[in-house]
Amino acid sequence: MTELVRFDHATLGYGRRVILSDLTFDIPEGDFLGMVGPNGAGKTTILRAILGTLKPSAGTVTHADGMRFGYVPQRDQVDYNFPLTVTDVVMMGRYDRIGLGRRPGKGDRDLAHRALDHVGIADLAGQPLNALSGGQKQRTLIARALVGEPNVLILDEPTNGMDLVSTTQILGLVRELHERNGLTVLMVSHALNEVANYVERIALVVNGGFRIGAVDDIMTHSVLSEMYRIPVDVDSFNGHRIVVARREPQLPPRDNA
């Protein structure tokens, strides 16, 4: 299988500050990878290196020829004060293909409509972005990523701040895009329980450590306990994996005698 992105002993950081070192892994074509870890662990740093906006201070990060990323940013990164329609936003995914100083044509508009149809919100094409629900906004951003015809779809915390229904729908949509179109997907999230039930591989970024593998290999008591440095149990319920951190043992009552 073709490797789309390859990390070879890469060290990542900002200036002299090293965030993660000696990373070696690859993202093959057709992968469905979840990158999970707490805030501040280095997920965004790895994401930037994958996207090519951060160069490694040592080692290499290489991309397959002609790679295109479809990036779905965190929803709060987008400014909803702009008076833009859903189609306006989706069209932005075509801007680099349209070229400097040129306007979108009919072909671009058709592709935008098809992308909206793909994510199930074609009927919202003319709606203002700021009138949409959280789930609809996320679908708009996914459509924008798809309209650029990417090799890899990258979603940064796609379910942040969403309720249970919207979370399930968005994760279901992402899995459908992967299964139906064979799209390579990288999903970044802090919610291990959510991601583990949808992706095929997991990259854990915790406490300065990095571990990547198939879901079955990573979602074990020993790996998770070692990475999170607390006892973690993995169970299943109706075919869903559930990760639970064990409660701290209660301290014995103080002996005043």
Partner 1 sequence: MLDAILLFRDALYGALVIAVACSVLGVYVVLRRIVFVGAALAQLSSAGIALALWLGGQGLMLGLASHPIAFALLLTIAGVLFFGAGGGRGRVPPDATIGVTYAVAAAAGIILISKAKTGEAHDIFLQGNILGITATDTVTLIAVAVPVLLLHVIFYKEFLFVSFDRETARTLGYNVSFWNLLLYLTLGLVIAFAMQFAGVMLVFNFLVVPAVTGLLVSRGMAGAFFWSVFSAVLAAVVGFSISVPFDLPSGPAIIAVSGALALLAYGVRLAQRR
Binding site for partner 1 (CB under 8 A): 51-53, 69, 71, 73, 77-79, 81-85, 88-89, 92-93, 95-96, 98, 100-101, 103-104, 128, 144, 148
The nearest distance, CB 110 to partner 1, in angstroms, is 18
The nearest distance, CB 142 to partner 1, in angstroms, is 12
Q: Which is nearer to partner 1, 144 or 196 (CB)?
A: 144
Q: Which is nearer to partner 1, 57 or 85 (CB)?
A: 85
Cα separation of 123 and 100, whole Å?
30
Show the CA angle centred on residue 140, arms to residues 30 and 69, nearest 5°.
Answer: 35
Q: Which is nearer to partner 1, 51 or 242 (CB)?
A: 51
Q: Which is nearer to partner 1, 19 or 204 (CB)?
A: 19
Cα separation of 208 and 183, whole Å?
30
Candidates 102, 34, 53, 94; CA nearest to 70 is 94
Q: Which two tokens stand for residue 165?
A: 């229904």
The nearest distance, CB 214 to partner 1, in angstroms, is 28
The nearest distance, CB 89 to partner 1, in angstroms, is 8
Q: Which is nearer to partner 1, 101 or 182 (CB)?
A: 101
Contact 162, 82 (CB under 8 A): no
Cα separation of 190 and 194, whole Å?
9
Q: Which two tokens stand for residue 136?
A: 């609809």
Q: Which two tokens stand for residue 64?
A: 């397959």
DSSP-derived secondary structure letter, 85: B
The nearest distance, CB 167 to partner 1, in angstroms, is 22
